[in-house]
Structure 1
Amino acid sequence: MENNESIKILFEKYLADACSLAEVRLLLDHFNKTEEEESLRELIRQQLAAPVVQNTETDRAVDAVRDALMKKIISKKETPLPRSKPLTFQQWTRMAAIWFLLILSAGTVFYFYRNPSEMFSSTGGKDTHVQMISVSTQKGERKEVVLEDGSVIWLNAVSRLTYPEKFGKDVREVNLAGEAYFEVSHDNERPFFILSGKIRTKVLGTSFDIKAYSEDKTISVAVLTGKVQVSNSESKDPVLLIPDQRVLFDKTKGNFLKETQIQASSLITWREGKMQFRNVVLGEVITSLKRNYDTDITCNPALMNCPVYADFEAGTPVAKVLEMLSVSVGGSLANLEGSRYYLDGKGCP
């Protein structure tokens, strides 16, 4: 499932020429899907409506690329976007950048024209194109991914990992949507970066868990071994984490909350298909169950904030899990039909 908020953020970073190679590939994968055409059109409308700062100085290189792009756009039979007045140069440049996302897949190299060092990696003196790989999981599915540097990543359900087939000589960078447990090979010369939504995690060699689902209110990073640094574009100082520490990033407020005494190993029991909840509100537990079971679960709003303490072994039927949860919060379970369930109750006990 694509995260519309994350795509919008990447789109804005692209227009600001701040995207990494992995992020550009992610945008291309997203907008190359037929069903995402309207999504792209809406982002175009938003960008054209955004205020711009007039600048009389134009980059000759951009002018040249813009002229070449005009010929390509004219040849395409696309419905023009409605507008009440002619586009300013700044708006036209935004439009050009947007169209490059589509034309890139056909061979245009605007992004790499402005960032040539990111398009190729050097192998024995010969330049080779960087191949991006994307691995995803469905509901109830988990996958193990081994990177070329020996790092191992376990993807939880409904997650996606995008990474280069071969890392460069200076940095290792991947993009995560969802949840994953990382065991990163130590390399002092090449730090390892994980981009997940609005945050960036930097490591040299360690093991940790990142949970960054689009529907969750927070993004969490928990460390089992080693050290990691977590930051976002608005924070001045990164948050440093050591074993059994976790940081929660509030996506709405844009701030970090550091927890210094946790049992980090309890957060990765999902690797074995187990589920462990410690003082987690029922609403979040239900969201987790939906990712792990192909089922529809609804709940009385009065129960959504009830705290849950529970452990479930791998393979436990969803009906049994829900029955135990209903008892723990003083509610009742109704099986509506097929795989649809409803948890009812008056409130937390």
Structure 2
Amino acid sequence: MKKDKFLFLLSKKLSNDISVEENELLTLAINTSDEYKQLADKLTKYFNQRKAKNSKTDKLRAAWTMIAKAEEENFEGTFDYAAPKSKFNIFSFLKIAAVLILALASTLVVYTLQKRSQQEIQSFNTGTTKSFKLLADGTKIWLNKNSELSYNSSFGKEKREISLQGEAYFDVVKNSAIPLFIHVGNITIEVKGTAFNVNAYSGKPYIQVALIRGLIQVSHTSDPENRILLKPNQKLIIPKALVQGNTSKFDIEPISTLDLLNETKWTSDTLIFRKEKLKDLAIRLEKKYELKIEIQSAQLKERRFSGTFTTETIKQALDGLKLSYPLTYTISNKLVIIKD
């Protein structure tokens, strides 16, 4: 989701003028982006603190409430029908003005916060569980257990820099103007839009890079001119004791489609869905959790959900769906029954 769309939805939520569908989109954006979550937390806190101090905003909100009530009552007993009607609709203007004021204030606060944190580094450690990250530019990253990832807080705006320890699968959004650099040990991987797996656990003597699609360029951190181009269905093996500047230590080997799937098999636990009908999502949940799901409501089958499941249990997953829609469920052995 683009930043201006995110700010627009957030301003509507802060002004209590957001629809259910818009709120789902906003929640998804916050849950899948550290940057958006941080901005949402800070903006919400900012407006809550300002609420008691800003009498003009309070008066505007009070006026808005009165306007809405008058419209619901069709202006009964309050409107002089004999009076000439003005072409200028003050009620619509006030509503638009309120949203614009909130949006403008949000933009100013975001700009200030971004200037302060532009040089900060965002870090994430998976610990003993796998995880999924969606960065601000749309790049998707699956992180294996005991892996650590760090990236610049203004990721995707001026630069895209990532450091990795452990194992990760990257699906990178193409941006020729801002290439992505991944730093792993003493090598740098440059990508402009591709998918690949990097295995760089500290206890292993090798760094391994397997390319699924696109092109990536691998070079020595201290010697960028000493580089190798990796093509799809190729695997690069780099000893950690690599002699600086010696490209003969790079070992590229072809890899079959089956072996390539085995390289990324560990990512299969991650389930990503966006505006997906429950009847279709149930099929994917059955495969992930190896059970049977029955939906006892025709209307509920067509209900759409968005989210990401990684290491959640089936109960935790269903409880997550309940946050978007008040469904009920029962679990008995390998059978799940979902209903309104």
Is TM-score (shorter-chain normalized) higher than 0.5? no
More helix as a share of residues: 2
TM value normalised by structure 1 = 0.40
If you compute each CA radius of gyration, which structure gives the higher value, 1 or 2?
Answer: 2
TM value normalised by structure 2 = 0.41
